[in-house]
């Protein structure tokens, strides 16, 4: 009888404690932007609604959630994602001692807050991302393949295949759960083909724009921001087609050569001017009439001797015979 009383008493105590409310999970941050469907443990997450430690956050195929934690750390969760806020621990001085996030699948952007870099740890199926005052994007595929793209600061990715250091903006590492891992090199569109998902890095490609200080850190999308376009099919879900590049203008066909101009007809030469009429020949001057000798030429008066007169006649080239033959003086010819 006494034993039965003891059993009953213990049962009453158990019922009493079982009816006490379960302490609420610790709120570690809040949502600052929600697009379409984003859910937590207790249902849809709304803007300014809290997120809690150990809470699993899921997004739809077009969902987007942006969250800020108590130390200022920012986390963007893109389409088709699943992540758990695994640990959020403060030390005695009220400083964040550890913040661990488990990313099962999806697309993410991380921007570190005010805590020490050693406090942050991100777990993926392919390895662990160590944070060094950093901003970066990372993607986890359905098969666990993980890609990390550095945007600011430094980061380290360690998996079964070793560790890789990301030190320059746009450095990228791709790793698989089996241990395969690429060297750190600049991200390009070939990384998206390797991942088998054109929309693997939507915050860099611009298919899911961010806000509230979570845009691309340092400017630019590492060459992916013009590669793809966010589209939706008839059901409202985004397709997974790469953005078609704008058609390039082909060089215009060379224009046909201009027809040669026909040579101009030469001007007709002007008719030559008619020659001036020749001046009429001048009339020859009429010879002066010879001086008529005196009537008594034969009886020349003077003091000349008769012989002198004969000499004069001969000097002038005429004689009595010639005068009578020609009938007088010879005419002068021009």
**Stretch 142-156: mean pLDDT, rounded?**
96
User: DSSP string covering 113-161, please?
Assistant: -SS-GGGEEEEETTEEEEEEEEEEEEEE-TT--EEEEEEEEEEEEEETT
Residue length of the chain? 334
pLDDT at 316 over 60: no
Radius of gyration of the chain (CA): 62
Phi–psi pair at 13, nearest 5 degrees: -60, -40
pLDDT for 261 beyond 80 = no
**pLDDT tens, residue by residue, 104-141:** 999 999 999 988 888 999 999 999 999 887 899 999 99
Structure tokens at 289: 């009439």
Tell me what pLDDT residue 111 has.
94
Give the Cα-Cα-Cα angle 79, 84, 86 (nearest 5 degrees): 155
Residue 154 vs residue 298, higher pLDDT: 154
In eight-state DSSP terms, residue 55 is -
The pLDDT score that the predictor gives to residue 224 is 87
> What's the rounded mean pLDDT across residues 240-262?
50
Helix (H) or strand (E) holding 104: strand 96-111
At which residue do the structure tokens 């008594």 appear? 296
Distance spanning both ends of the chain, measured CA to CA: 195
Average pLDDT, the chain: 75
Full-prediction pTM beyond 0.75? no
Residue 79 CB-half CA count within 13 A: 20
Domains of the chain: 24-205 (2.60.120.1440)
Q: With a cut of 80, say whether residue 208 has pLDDT above it.
A: yes
Lowest mean pLDDT among 146-160, 206-220, 270-284: 270-284
Whether the per-residue pLDDT at 275 is higher than 60: the answer is: yes
Name the helix (H) or strand (E) containing 59.
strand 56-59
């Amino acid at each position: 009888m006494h034993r039965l009383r003891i059993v009953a008493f213990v049962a009453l105590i158990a019922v009493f404690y079982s009816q006490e409310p379960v302490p609420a999970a610790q709120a570690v941050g809040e949502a600052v932007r929600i697009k379409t469907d984003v859910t937590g443990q207790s249902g849809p997450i709304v803007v300014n609604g809290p997120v809690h430690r150990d809470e699993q956050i899921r997004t739809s195929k077009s969902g987007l959630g942006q969250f800020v934690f108590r130390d200022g750390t920012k986390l963007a969760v893109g389409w088709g994602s699943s992540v758990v806020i695994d640990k959020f621990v403060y030390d005695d001085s009220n400083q964040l001692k550890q913040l661990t996030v488990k990313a099962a699948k999806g697309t993410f952007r991380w921007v570190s807050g005010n805590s020490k870099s050693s406090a942050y740890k991100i777990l993926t199926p392919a390895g662990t991302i160590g944070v060094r005052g950093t901003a970066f994007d990372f993607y986890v595929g359905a098969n666990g393949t993980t890609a990390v793209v550095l945007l600011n600061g430094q980061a380290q990715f360690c998996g079964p295949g070793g560790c890789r250091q990301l030190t320059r903006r746009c450095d990228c590492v791709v790793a698989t759960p089996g241990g395969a891992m690429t060297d750190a090199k600049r991200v390009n569109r070939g990384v998206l083909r390797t991942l088998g998902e054109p929309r693997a890095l939507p915050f860099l490609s611009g298919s899911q724009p961010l806000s509230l200080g979570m845009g691309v850190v340092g400017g630019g999308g590492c060459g992916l921001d013009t590669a793809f376009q966010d589209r939706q099919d008839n059901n409202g879900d985004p397709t997974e087609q790469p953005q078609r590049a704008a058609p390039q203008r082909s060089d215009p066909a060379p224009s046909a050569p201009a027809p040669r101009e026909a040579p101009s007809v030469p001007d007709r030469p002007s008719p030559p001017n008619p020659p001036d009429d020749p001046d009429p020949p001048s009339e020859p001057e009429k010879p002066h009439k010879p001086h008529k000798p005196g009537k008594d030429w034969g009886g020349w008066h003077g003091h000349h001797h008769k012989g002198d007169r004969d000499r004069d006649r001969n000097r002038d080239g005429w004689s009595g015979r010639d005068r009578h033959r020609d009938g007088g003086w010879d005419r002068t010819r021009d």
